Copies of this chain bind each other. A is one copy, B any other.
Amino acid sequence: MNRKELEAQIKAKQSVLCVGLDTDLERIPKHLLELDDPIFEFNKAIIDATHSYTIAYKPNLAFYEAEGLAGWKSLEKTIAYLNENYPEIFTIADAKRGDIGNTGRRYAKAFFETLKFDSVTIAPYMGSDSVKPFLGFEGKWAILLALTSNPGGSDFQLQSLEKGHKLYQEVLAQSSQWASDEELMYVVGATKAEFIKEIRQQVPNHFLLVPGVGAQGGTVADVMEHGKAQNGVGLLINSSRGIIYASSESDFAGAAAESASKLQSEMMKFI
């Protein structure tokens, strides 16, 4: 999906909502566990209930890998279901991969060609040749970690460099030279709302994927006030647990829709 299509969807739905599919067998409603593929059935119900408020879905790979082969199968079915039924939706493999060129190309194949995701999250530690294998695929995106919303995010990302700025700013400075805002986005945690304004000055046009709204703290208003791009909305705000686990009973899909709708209502004020 290219940038124009993504921005058009945001305008049409008046939303920047990304729903994180952190689907956990221990947290989904018990009655689903009797089905053949509980993870897929849960995702399908969540997607069907929330898609009209939602711009992007982001399966978190760890939750699928934890279940081994069965989990990988659930992931394949989920992305196939999305691509078949909701081709206008942007899809993110939240995989946080990153490896040398030879290996990176295999990860790009895994997520862009085999699974057919629109995008994949990438960790920057290994540098340019671990990011570049994800570039140059038409309509596909690399989403690079810049500033993350977890407490340990400050351990290295906020280290001051001798040259005068912080590590995450160096990541932004270098990587924004590797790719345009047509194929590179950044992960910027919402718990660091004070940083979002500043990051926008450094990368005025790149899309920011913002986790940390909801269960991890951070407000939609803060992010949208400070985070909009110069050349469009340029934001995707993720909520995972706050939506998909809004209820752990049989009304889980309706409760998820309600949570998604509530977030969308907040978002539309700023679009």
Residues from 149 to 192 in A contacting B, C-beta threshold 8 Å: 149-157, 159-163, 167, 170-171, 174
Which segment of A42-50, A61-69, A200-208, A257-265 sits at the interface? A61-69
Chain A's interface size range is 35 or more
List 5 A-B pairs, minimum CB-CB distance, nearest first: A127-B152, A127-B155, A62-B106, A65-B110, A129-B152
* Interface pair B76/A156, CB less than 8 Å apart: no
**14 chain-A/chain-B pairs, Cβ below 8 angstroms:** A22-B103, A62-B106, A65-B114, A66-B114, A69-B69, A71-B110, A101-B150, A124-B156, A126-B150, A127-B155, A156-B167, A156-B171, A156-B174, A162-B162
Q: Which of B63, B98, B155, B171 makes the CB contact (< 8 A) with A103?
A: B63
Cα distance, A162 to B170, chains bound together (Å): 13
Given contacts A96-B98, A103-B22, contact A156 B66 (CB under 8 A): no
A188 to B: closest C-beta gap in Å: 13
> Which one of B63, B130, B156, B167 lies within 8 Å of A150 (CB-CB)?
B130
Tell me if A118 is interfacial: C-beta within 8 Å of chain B: no
Is A83's beta carbon under 8 Å from chain B? no
**A145 on the B face (CB < 8 A):** yes
Chain B residues lying within 8 Å of A68, measured Cβ to Cβ, are 72, 76, 110, 114-115
Chain A interface SS verdict (over half): helix
Task: Report the nearest B residue to A115, measured CB to CB.
Answer: B68
Chain A residues within 8 Å of B, Cβ to Cβ: 22, 24, 60, 62-63, 65-69, 71-73, 76, 96-104, 106-107, 109-111, 114-115, 123-131, 145, 148-157, 159-163, 167, 170-171, 174
Known: A125-B157, A126-B150. A106 touches B65 (CB 8 A): yes
A151 proximity list for chain B (CB < 8 A): 127-129
A60 to chain B, nearest CB (A): 6
CB A21 to nearest CB in B, in angstroms, measures 12
Q: Smallest CB–CB gap between A97 and chain B, Å?
A: 7
